[in-house]
């Protein structure tokens, strides 16, 4: 049996074998199946995705390997971590101006000048640039940090596992944006709150007590609320006692008033009693007064609104003449000692001249209660005032004017 090649398995006849046409053709078929044509070869060489360029090969060759990266990391570790600190016992290196990244010093500019401090200075872009500095105490694990953006800040202690503080109300600060508390910690704020609530309850209890209900400052808010509701239970007002449209609390409930609003009520005295309407009056109402309501103006034996009269009038009379003009009003004054006219008598007794005579008597209210006319009905009007009267004639238009006589009765 012939041997075969390792890749394409082409048959290689042994020395004692005969090469047949069939085996020869099979070998060529195998070569044809596995060999590439010139076109396929050119396409394969031009495939940039499958094959990298020479420039890409160079870049790829320069890529870091895990071994090379570890070697570089070891160099950084050896050049940074395992450094000796600069230490000058005589001068104590000043942390503010040290050019050394690692320093051991007891300079006053350290967190304190009694302990030895290991300082690590981190420079941004040189000795004069922004920098950060850490300081670790050489005898314990206290650590501090500060920064420099032109000037050094204060040292700030860094917390360690030994510095963990258990939060308590006393050491927990509060943010009082509304400035409600004088205290700055939770315990102080709670104490202030308790005091304010206690004082408030005491004040509320005192106010409730002033309103007729017993209350104590140590009562709960629920108990005080009941006391507040009880304030109006002993009030006796009813809706009719409260002005309409207004509300009040009585008997433990809210009531709406039904009392009518009379506003300003003005009463003018008369000869009969006048009922005062029930309801609310605004206090601006009044009973009309009269300055003449005096005893000297009231007849003796007569009482008006509690004022007894002292006046005893003396009847008087007077007579006179006036010229009556057709359709014109005349005013005749009474004598000066007249207080009030009681009646006026108008008469004309000149029958020889006019062929007639008449008499008219006018009462104090101006009404004519007596007349006598032998020839015609006298037509005239008369109005009485307290101390004068007016007279108007509108008959006998053919007689422009004539004299008339009058008698006034007065006191």
Enumerate residues 6+ apart whose C-beta is below 8 A from 106: 92, 113, 114, 115, 116, 117
Mean pLDDT, residues 369-384 taken together: 59
Q: In 317-393, where does DSSP find H-type helix?
A: 351-354
Q: How far apart are CA 158 and CA 127, in angstroms?
A: 24
d(CA 185, CA 188) in angstroms, rounded, equals 5
Please tell me the distance from the alpha carbon of residue 300 to that of residue 232, in angstroms, as a whole number.
58
The predicted-structure confidence for 9-63, as pLDDT tens digits, reads as follows 888 888 777 778 888 888 888 888 888 788 877 787 777 676 677 777 777 777 7
Residue 84 scores a pLDDT above 80: no
- pLDDT over 50 (residue 376): no
pLDDT of residue 231: 83
Q: What is the pLDDT of residues 218-242, one digit of tens each?
A: 999 899 888 888 888 878 888 999 9
pLDDT at position 374: 42
Radius of gyration of the chain (CA): 67
What is the reported pLDDT for 83?
Answer: 59
Inter-residue contact 370 to 278 (CB < 8 Å): no
Over the stretch 301-323, which tens digit does the pLDDT of each residue have? 899 888 998 888 788 889 988 88
267: left (phi over 0), alpha (psi -120 to 50) or beta: beta
Greater pLDDT, 297 or 261: 261
Residue 359: name the closest of 410, 316, 351 by CA: 351
Give 252's pLDDT tier (boundaries 50, 70, 90).
Answer: confident
Q: What is the 3-state secondary structure (H, E, C) of 376-392?
A: CCCCEEEEECCCEEEEE
CB 257 within 8 A of CB 248: yes
Going by pLDDT thresholds of 50, 70 and 90, the confidence category of residue 120 is very high
∠ Cα 253 256 260 (to 5°) = 145
| Segment 170-185 mean pLDDT | 86
pLDDT computed for residue 349 by the predictor? 55
Measured distance CA(288)–CA(392) in Å, rounded: 36
Question: What span, in angstroms and rounded, lies between the C-alpha atoms of 168 and 150?
Answer: 38
pLDDT (0 to 100) of residue 398: 63
The domains found in the chain, sorted by start residue, are 1-63 (no CATH), 80-164 (no CATH), 173-258 (no CATH), 316-410 (2.60.40)
* Summary mean pLDDT of the chain: 81
Q: What is the predicted pLDDT for the residue at 72?
A: 65
- Which range among 117-121, 127-131, 198-202, 379-383 shows the weakest confidence by mean pLDDT? 379-383
Rounded mean pLDDT of 146-168? 83
Helix residue ranges, H only, 35-129: 38-46, 54-61, 66-80
Q: Given this model, what pLDDT does residue 82 score?
A: 47
At 136 the pLDDT is 92
Contact 403, 323 (CB under 8 A): yes
Confidence of residue 81 (pLDDT cuts 50, 70, 90): very low
Measured between alpha carbons, how far is 114 from 111 in angstroms, rounded to an integer?
9
Instruction: Report which of residues 237 and 397 the model is more confident about.
Output: 237
Provide the whole-model pTM.
0.32
């Amino acid at each position: 049996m012939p041997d075969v090649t390792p890749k394409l398995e082409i048959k290689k006849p042994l020395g004692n074998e005969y090469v047949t046409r069939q085996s020869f053709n099979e070998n060529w078929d195998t070569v044809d199946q596995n060999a590439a044509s010139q076109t396929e070869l050119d396409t394969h060489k031009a495939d940039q995705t499958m094959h990298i360029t020479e420039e890409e090969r160079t870049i790829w060759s320069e890529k870091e390997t895990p071994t090379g990266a570890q070697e570089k990391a070891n160099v950084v570790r050896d050049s940074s971590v395992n450094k000796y600190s600069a230490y000058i016992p005589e001068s104590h290196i000043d942390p503010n101006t040290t050019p050394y990244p690692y320093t051991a010093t007891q300079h006053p500019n350290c967190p304190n000048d009694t302990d030895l401090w290991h300082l690590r200075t981190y420079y941004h872009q040189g000795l004069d640039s922004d920098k950060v500095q850490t300081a670790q105490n050489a005898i314990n694990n206290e650590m501090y940090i500060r920064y420099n953006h032109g000037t050094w800040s204060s040292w700030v202690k860094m917390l360690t596992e030994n510095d963990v503080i258990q939060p308590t109300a006393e050491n927990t600060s509060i943010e009082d944006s509304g400035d409600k508390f004088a205290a700055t910690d939770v315990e102080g704020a709670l104490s202030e709150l308790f005091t304010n609530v206690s004082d408030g309850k005491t004040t509320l209890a005192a106010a409730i007590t002033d309103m007729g209900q017993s209350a104590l400052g140590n009562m709960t808010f629920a108990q005080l609320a009941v006391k507040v509701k009880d304030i109006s239970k002993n009030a006796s007002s009813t809706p009719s006692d409260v002005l309409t449209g207004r509300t009040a609390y009585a008997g433990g409930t809210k009531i709406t008033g039904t009392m009518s609003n009379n506003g300003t009520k003005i009463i003018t005295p008369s000869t009969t009693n006048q009922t005062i309407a029930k309801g609310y009056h605004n206090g601006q109402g009044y009973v009309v007064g009269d300055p003449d309501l005096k005893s000297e103006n009231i007849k003796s034996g007569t009482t008006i609104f509690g004022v007894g009269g002292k006046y005893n009038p003396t009847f008087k009379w007077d007579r006179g003449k006036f010229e009556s003009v057709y359709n014109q009003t005349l005013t005749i004054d009474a004598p000066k000692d007249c207080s009030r006219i009681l009646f006026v008598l108008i008469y004309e007794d000149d029958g020889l001249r006019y062929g007639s005579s008449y008499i008219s008597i006018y009462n104090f209210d101006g009404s004519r209660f007596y007349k006598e006319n032998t020839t015609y009905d006298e037509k005239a009007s008369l109005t009485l005032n307290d101390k004068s009267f007016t007279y108007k004639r509108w008959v006998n238009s053919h007689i422009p004017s004539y004299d008339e006589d009058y008698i006034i009765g007065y006191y």
